[in-house]
Structure 1
Amino acid sequence: MTNAKRDAVLVADDHSLYRTGLGFLLKDRLGFHTVVEAATFDAALDRLSELEDIGLALFDLSMPGVSGPESLGVIKETYPDVRVAIVSGSEERGDVLKAVATGLGGYVPKSLQDDEIVAALRDILDGRIYVPRFMTSSGSPAAARTSTPEQIEKKWDTSGVTGTKPISPRQRDVLDCVRRGLSNKEIARELDIAEGTVKIHLAALFSHFGARNRTELATRC
């Protein structure tokens, strides 16, 4: 797999100091020209819909609007050319397994040293899936950084870790607008978000409720 483009990277985290520090590493050590910051999930979705040169998107699990790794899956589906990964303070095995099952590019704990974070992100950019060393039987950094989707699925049973969670408050707002018959443009105007963000929330709602179109979405839930 070819390397992801490194024109711009999105860092979505509600802690400004961490965004700044991670942004420095991404520019200084990984060659990104632009670091785009977002403090909320909706703001991150807006940036993705507005900018076409983002090659990597990094999300913190505890930021406003993110209910878990599953909520990031729709971003991967909507923007297949963007590598999506989690950089989080959580070291729960369940969160890592959900990230892998969702098809994300990796799960990088914030507790890692700078060199380890750089190595993890480099592997994600190269198309490999990064999982923390505590998820490997050998515990070696090399084993944690050379996983492929097939190897991970074989090593861990991810069944039962992607249970359906309630929709987010913003998705509930979008759903209410759909029930009222509003268009994407009208929803964006009413909720003060980008139209591209509306499309992502709709994709998540279609997946959540198993609906094929807006009519089914409005009548099934």
Structure 2
Amino acid sequence: MDRSRRVALIADPDEYFRLAVETILTTRLGFSTVHHATTLDQAFDHLIKQPQTWLSVFELNLPGLQGASSLTGVRDCFPEVQVAVVSTSLRRHDILMALDAGAHGYVPKNETPSELTSALKMIVDGRIYVPPSIASIASLVTEGPVLNAKSPKTSPPDTLTPRQREVLELLLKGKSNKEIARTLSLGEGTVKVHMAGLFRALGVNTRAAAAAAGVQLVQGRGFGT
């Protein structure tokens, strides 16, 4: 999309944070227009009236948003919108739920401005952002199940082919299909085939859900390097 026509929505009850994110989007990431919402109803109203919106940033504590799984409705109604969660919640459950619901990334609010900028750029560029801190978060949070939504069929790591493991590892690093192809010296079409096989093996339909499943494998079953 032409950077001069990029439109974003920030849905967060904190005015100061909205202004900070707006500054990042307009001065660092090339957005021309940034709208604000303080409730889920306002966010939906905006997305309906402004179909050209390309990126939406949600806080999980947004009034009207019933947890990370509610983002499924946003993705179902507005499938062309990139959805980023930037939230105060550090619960591993919330991070995985948001990714499983189709969010393109989850950024904890305790990240530095430069880290927040890098994470949002990754999402704007069409990648999936998974916070590196999730490894330490996993050991701190014990409340609730990891996923309440339809859980992916996360089979043991050894049921994935070596190539699928490599693709998943690169997906978790936020690599695009083109970058995965370059890293593995494969054609982009071949990567898409491996990605489809990976989705089938994990029982998911999106890159975000695959990332959520991959995090569970990494943390719970020793997958990865």
TM-score per shorter chain, which class? Answer: 0.5 to 0.7
Aligned in 2, Cα 1:96/1:19: closer, same or farther, shift over 3 Å? same
Cα distance in 2 between the residues matched to 1:153 and 1:6: 34
**What is the aligned partner in structure 2 of residue 36 from structure 1?**
35
Please list, as runs of the form range in 1=range in 2, the aligned pairs for 1:76-87 lying within 5 A after superposition. Answer: 76-87=75-86
Please list, as runs of the form range in 1=range in 2, the aligned pairs for 1:74-113 lying within 5 A after superposition. Answer: 74-113=73-112
TM-score by length of structure 1 reads 0.63
**What is the aligned partner in structure 2 of residue 72 from structure 1?**
71
* RMSD (Å) for aligned C-alpha atoms: 2.7
1:146 to 171, 174, 177: 174
CA deviation after TM superposition for structure 1 residue 143, in Å: 9.1
TM-superposition CA deviations, 1:112-137 (whole Å, max 9, x none)? 11111111111111222111111248
CA deviation after TM superposition for structure 1 residue 86, in Å: 0.7
TM-score by length of structure 2 reads 0.62
Cα distance in 2 between the residues matched to 1:126 and 1:55: 11
1:4 touches 1:125 (CA, 8 Å); kept in 2? no
**What is the aligned partner in structure 2 of residue 164 from structure 1?**
none
Cα distance in 1 between the residues matched to 2:126 and 2:6: 17
TM-superposition CA deviations, 1:166-221 (whole Å, max 9, x none)? xxxxxxxxxxxxxxxxxxxxxxxxxxxxxxxxxxxxxxxxxxxxxxxxxxxxxxxx
SS at match of 1:99: helix
Aligned in 2, Cα 1:63/1:71: closer, same or farther, shift over 3 Å? same
SS at match of 1:123: helix
1:89 touches 1:109 (CA, 8 Å); kept in 2? yes
Cα distance in 2 between the residues matched to 1:15 and 1:3: 29
Cα distance in 2 between the residues matched to 1:145 and 1:22: 23
**What is the aligned partner in structure 1 of residue 180 from structure 2?**
none
Aligned in 2, Cα 1:41/1:96: closer, same or farther, shift over 3 Å? same
Please list, as runs of the form range in 1=range in 2, the aligned pairs for 1:35-54 lying within 5 A after superposition. Answer: 35-54=34-53
1:136 touches 1:143 (CA, 8 Å); kept in 2? no
Aligned in 2, Cα 1:151/1:72: closer, same or farther, shift over 3 Å? closer
Cα distance in 1 between the residues matched to 2:109 and 2:2: 23
Name structure 1 gaps, 5 residues minimum: 158-221
Name structure 2 gaps, 5 residues minimum: 137-169, 176-206, 218-225
CA deviation after TM superposition for structure 1 residue 155, in Å: 3.5
Aligned residues: 153
Aligned in 2, Cα 1:151/1:85: closer, same or farther, shift over 3 Å? closer
Cα distance in 2 between the residues matched to 1:58 and 1:110: 12
Aligned in 2, Cα 1:75/1:60: closer, same or farther, shift over 3 Å? same
**What is the aligned partner in structure 2 of residue 204 from structure 1?**
none
Cα distance in 2 between the residues matched to 1:104 and 1:156: 17
SS at match of 2:9: strand
Q: Identity over the aligned pairs, expressed in percent?
A: 36
Where do 4+ consecutive residues of structure 1 move more than 3 Å? 2-6, 142-145, 147-152
CA deviation after TM superposition for structure 1 residue 3, in Å: 9.7
